[in-house]
Amino acid sequence: MNEFQCRVPKVLFGSGRIESLGVLASELGHKAFLAVDPYIDSSDLADRLVRGLDRASVTTTRYSKIEPDPDCFAVDEAAEITRKNACTSVIAVGGGSAIDFGKGVAVVAANPGTCWQYTRRTDHTPKIPGPDTLPVIAVPTTAGTGSEATHFAVFTNPKIREKSTIVSDRIMPRIALVDPELTFSCPRQLTALTGVDVLAHSLEAFINIKASPFAKMVAIEAIHLVGRYLVRTVKDGEDREARENMAWASTLAGIAIAHSNPTLPHALGQAAGGFIHVPHGASVAACLPHIVRLSYDADPASFAELAAALDPAARDLPLNQRAERSADLLEQLFRDIDLKVRFSDFGLKEEHIPRITQIALTGYSTGISLHPKQLDGAGIEEIYRACL
Ligand SMILES: [Fe+2]
């Protein structure tokens, strides 16, 4: 067995746990930068959180100019505000964009340089966040990215139309406060797309050719929960049991992906998503079923396990049929949640394919190399064309 490590944040999970935010935040100082998703900012929840923080003597600098796939330059501006207001912690409330934004602010507010300089890229040596990086409390309001449990944060650089990731233990949230009730108002389409992101994280963490036993163990449980509860959650957003289990699946999938690099679906989705501004979940959903169909024969044992986790009835099939069944089940799941996403829906054109293939090969080579089916540039172009 190869060496591996486990890296899990303190997770406080449960409906109603949000009420403890004030007390938790007060342990990190009395001035917090509150990064809130704009949709949440216009709801009662944000006011409720501020009142709760206030009662715990935590004053907040509230900030909600956060776009999907956060802009690295907006992070620099917000970090300046954080510094001016002498905030000692960051509370990030929202989906993956708000949480990643908060992680970026935590780095730039307390370290020299810009957000982009901390991202991991081949065209520069990334700066390393130091020990003064502000502690982050992550409060997810979607069952999706699992960012509350990872040491990653993804940013878009609009000047070069690319995405890159800060990777550092210093941005692992000090506390992941996962209250499933916060996901209850998530709209149907977003519930479907974020749910597919949960599946993609766990699936990719599981099939990664270097996945550790810990990553596989956590990932397979998340896949099992998605198979059992995603359709229910999309069909009835008030289904408490389904919402709670999807919130848990999302955090588990985040833990899994933090231990096992994402593979081809995230590599191709993010390369396209930075270029044409596809929302993250949609960019992955656009290529996930096709990639599974193309890949199951490269590692039948893993894909067979995947099928059995999604649908226990698949357990009785012979190994190769079970592996093939994983692709059928994924396509069926997409039909059941009424999800049809293609890259062309977001403006991707045939003539963009060589460029985004190049971006994928240079910016996401690790994820591509860890996928069980090895593909070259021509193979990647073919996937983009099939999913256009
Ligand atoms: Fe993702």
Per residue in 115-144, pLDDT (tens digit) is 999 999 888 899 999 999 999 999 999 999
> Residues of CATH 3.40.50.1970 domain(s) within the chain?
10-183
DSSP symbol at 134: P
42 Cα to the center of ligand 1, angstroms? 25
**Interval between CA 113 and ligand 1 midpoint (Å):** 27
Residue 83 CA, ligand 1 centroid: distance in Å: 30
pLDDT of 277 higher than 90: no
Tell me the CA–centroid distance for residue 96 and ligand 1, in Å: 8
Contact predicate 104/75, CB 8 Å = yes
* The domain defined by 10-183 carries CATH number 3.40.50.1970: yes
Q: Name residue 32's beta-bridge partners.
A: 60, 89
Tell me, in angstroms, the distance from the centre of ligand 1 to residue 253's CA: 10
Rounded mean pLDDT, 56-67? 97
- Per the CB < 8 A criterion, the answer to whether 287 and 234 are in contact is no
- Cα angle 359, 362, 367; round to 5: 100
What is the percent of the chain with per-residue pLDDT over 90, rounded to a whole number? 92
Name the CA radius of gyration of the chain, rounded. 20
CA distance readout (Å), 104 to 24, 39, 60, 200: 21, 20, 18, 24
Q: Does domain 188-386 have CATH number 1.20.1090.10?
A: yes
Instruction: Give the tokens for residue 356.
Output: 């985004």
Question: Over 90: is that where the pLDDT of 279 sits?
Answer: no
Q: 194 C-alpha vs ligand 1 centroid, how far in Å?
A: 8
pTM, to two decimals: 0.95
CATH 1.20.1090.10 maps onto the chain at 188-386
Identity of the residue numbered 3? E
Single-letter residue type at 44: D
pLDDT tens for 203-234 read 999 999 999 999 999 999 999 999 999 999 99
Q: How far is CA 231 from CA 242, 285, 327, 337, in A?
A: 9, 15, 17, 6
Q: Which helix (H) or strand (E) holds 61?
A: strand 59-63
